[in-house]
Amino acid sequence: MRLTLGDVLEQPDFGLQQCTGGEAARALPVEGAHSIDLPDPVRWLQESWIMLTTGVQLRGSAAAQRRLVAQLAEGRLTALGLGLGIALRRVPRALLQEAERRDFPVFITPLETPFREIVSFVNRSALSADLYVLRRLTSMQRYLLDAMHQSLPDQALVERLASLLGGAEVAYLDAAGAPIATTAPEVEWSAAALGQSSTNLREFEHEGRWGMVTPVIEGDTPTGWLVVLLGSVTVSRQVARPVVRTASELLGLVSVTRLAATRGRRARRERLGARLLRVLGGEPDEGLPAALAVEGIDFTRPCRVAVLAGVGDGADSAPREAIETALGSGGADLVTAADAEQVIVLAQDDLLALADWLRSDPQLGHVRAGVSEPLLRLEDAAAAIDQARLALTVVLSAPAGPAVQRHDALEPSVALLGPSSARHLRARLMSALEPLEHEPRLRAAVVAYFDAGLDVGRAAHALGLHRNSVRYRLDRAEQRLGRSLRSPGTVATIHLALLAERLGASR
C-alpha cells in the first residue's frame, strides 16, 4: 500500500526521466510532494517527500547545486524533481555529480507536465495509503494493549511488538541498560543502545541493522529504554515508529501501575504490621485473622514468628523491605512489623531456609534472627514471640555462632529461660535420654556418673565396676547421645531430664 518513487516515475502521463539513484531508489517511500524555489528549502519539507523545483535558485552556482543535494540527502528526502525549460535547460553538472556521489535520486520533469499534477497524484495516493496505515495501526495497537491483561505484561508486550515488526529483536532495558524483558537474551543490548538514548524516539544502525530506541517514561522521568533491532525492513517507518511509541507508553503505564500497587501493598502491610505488633503484646484484635488471610497467612499450615536484629533504625523502611523481598523470594507468605531496632516477622512457612535467604542479600548479611516453634493459631502469637526473642538472645550471646537460632533447637536448660516454654519443656527433657532407651548398661553408667557428681571413681564404686569400664561405657553413651558429657549444656540437660523423670515417677 505504500507509494514509492517507482510508482511516481512510472506514471505514463508525467513523462518523468530518472537521472540518478538507480533501480534501488525506485523502492523508496513517497509520503508527499511539494514545489519550492526558495533557498534553504529543507525546513519546509519532510522526510520521505519529493522536492519539485524549476531551479531558479540554482542557476549559475555550482556550490548552491551541491549544497541543495547535500541538504536533501541529509534530511532524508526521497528525491529531487527538476523542471527543465524555465530556469534550466539541462541538469546542472555539479548537481548531477553530487547526486551520483551520494546516490541520491534526481529525475527530470518535462515542461508540459505541471508540478501540480505530480503533487495531486502523490496526495491522492498518500491519502489512500494513510487510511490503510490507520487501520493497520489501530489493529496493531489493540494487539499490544491486550498484552496488559497478561500475568507478565512486560514480556508479553516485548514479544508482541517483535511479532508485529516481522520478527524483530526487542528488549526493554532498565536505566542501567540491563534487560527487564527481551526476545533475544544473547544480544548485547547495552552496546546496541549505547549513545542512542534521548528523550525522543531515535533511529540508529547497529552492525548493519536498522534500529530504534525510545525512553520508557514513568510519570515524567525516563526509567528505562525500549530497543528494537529489525532483521530486514519488512515494516515501513511510517508504521514502525508509532507502534514502538505505543509499546513504550504501555510499558511506562505497566511500570507506574506496578509502582502504585507496590506502594499500596506496602502501606497496607505497614498497617497490618502495626496491628500484629499490638497483638504480639497481648492486645486482642478480632479482625486481624481475616486481614492476615488476605496476605496468605490463614494458619492452614504452621506459622513461625521470627525476630531479626541488626537492621539499624526501626524507622528506616529499607532493611524491612529488603527482609520482605528476601523472604518473599523464598516463597514465604509473611507480614512484618518494626519494633525499635528489630523486625518481627510472622510467616506461614517453617523458615528452615531463613539463613540462606538473609545471605542472598548483601544488606542482610549481618542480620541475626531467632525463630519460634510452630504457631497454629494467632492466639498463641504472644508466646511465640517470647520464644523467638529467647532464641535471638542465644544468637547474640555467641557472635561466632550461627546467624539464625530456632527455639526448638535450643537446649531444654536454655528453654527454661523462656516464659512460654514450660509446657513444652517436660516432653523435650524426657526425650533427651531416648538414645539410651535400649542400652540399659550405658544408661546406668550415665545415671551413676551424674549421681556421683560427675566423678568417675565414685560412679565405678557404686556400679561395682573398674574405672576404665565406666569410662568406656560413658564414651559409648556419648556416641549414642551425639553430645559430650563434659559439655555444660549436656550436663544441664541430662541433669534436668533425670530430675523430671524422678519427679514424674514420684507423682
Q: What is the largest CA-CA distance in the chain?
A: 136
Mean pLDDT value across residues 99-108: 95
Q: Quick check: 506 pLDDT over 50?
A: no
Residue 502 in 3-state DSSP?
helix
Predicted pLDDT at 108: 94
Model pLDDT, residue 28: 94
Whether the predicted pLDDT of 187 surpasses 80: no
Three-state secondary structure string covering 166-234 = CCCEEEEEECCCCEEEECCCCCCHHHHCCCCCCCCCEEEEECCEEEEEEEEEECCEEEEEEEEECCCCC
- The H or E element that residue 243 is part of is helix 237-280
17 Cβ contact partners less than 8 Å away, ≥ 6 residues apart: 107, 108
Residue at grid coordinates 514471640: 385
> What average pLDDT score do residues 343-359 get?
85
Tell me the average pLDDT across 182-189.
80
Give the mean pLDDT of 295-310. 85
Return the closest-CA partner of residue 30 out of 57, 61, 8, 12: 8
Distance in angstroms (rounded) separating the CA atoms of residues 341 and 374: 24
Percent of the chain at pLDDT above 90? 24
Higher pLDDT, 191 or 491: 491
pLDDT above 60 for 134? no
Contacts of 324 (CB under 8 A, 6+ apart): 269, 334, 336
- Give 64's pLDDT tier (boundaries 50, 70, 90): very high
Q: Residue 385 has what pLDDT?
A: 85
Amino acid making up residue 7? D
- Per the model's pLDDT, the better-predicted residue between 77 and 324 turns out to be 77
Nearest to 340 by CA among 313, 310, 306, 368: 313
Mean pLDDT, range 8-13, rounded to an integer: 91
Asked whether the predicted pLDDT for residue 383 surpasses 70, the reply is yes
Mean pLDDT highest for which of 90-104, 138-152, 401-415? 90-104
Higher-pLDDT residue of 460 and 134 is: 460
Euclidean distance between CA atoms 302 and 294, whole angstroms: 17
What is the identity of the amino acid at 316? D
48 and 30 Cβ atoms separated by less than 8 Å: yes
Arithmetic mean of pLDDT over the chain: 82
- How far, in whole angstroms, is CA 484 from its chain's centroid? 49
Residue 29, SS3?
strand
pLDDT for the residue numbered 507: 45
How much of the chain is helix, strand and coil, in % rounded to 5? 50, 15, 30
CB 333 within 8 A of CB 341: no
User: Can you tell me the mean pLDDT for 248-253?
Assistant: 85
Q: Are 224 and 215 in contact (CB under 8 A)?
A: yes
Could you give the CA distance from residue 183 to residue 217 in angstroms, rounded to a whole number?
21
Q: Which carries the bigger pLDDT value, residue 177 or residue 84?
A: 84
Instruction: Provide the sign of the torsion angle of the four alpha carbons 97, 102, 107, 111, taken in this order.
Output: negative
Most confident residue range from 80-84, 426-430, 481-485:
80-84
- Cα–Cα distances (Å) from 97 to 18, 38, 56, 103, in that order, read 14, 22, 19, 10
What is the model's pLDDT at position 275? 84
**pLDDT for 505:** 60
Exposed/middle/buried for 327, CB within 10 Å: 0-12, 13-18, 19+? Answer: buried
The pLDDT assigned to 310 comes to: 74
pLDDT reported for residue 19: 95
Going by pLDDT thresholds of 50, 70 and 90, the confidence category of residue 150 is confident
C-alpha cell at 317: 523502611
> 5: pLDDT confidence band, cut at 50, 70 and 90?
very high
Arithmetic mean of pLDDT, 444-468: 91
CB neighbour burial string for 7-28, b if at least 16 within 10 angstroms, e if fewer: ebbeeeebebebbbbeeebbeb
Q: How far apart are CA 69 and CA 99, in angstroms?
A: 6
Q: Which of 165, 158, 201 is nearest to 181 (CA)?
A: 158
Confidence of residue 26 (pLDDT cuts 50, 70, 90): very high
pLDDT, position 16 = 95
Question: Distance between CA 494 and CA 92 in Å, rounded?
Answer: 110
Query: Domains of the chain (ranges plus CATH)?
Result: 5-125 (3.40.1390.20), 150-257 (3.30.450.40), 281-410 (3.30.70), 425-506 (1.10.10.2840)
- In this structure, how many other beta carbons lie within 10 angstroms of the beta carbon of residue 32? 17
Distances (CA, A) of 246 to 137, 201, 236: 10, 11, 16
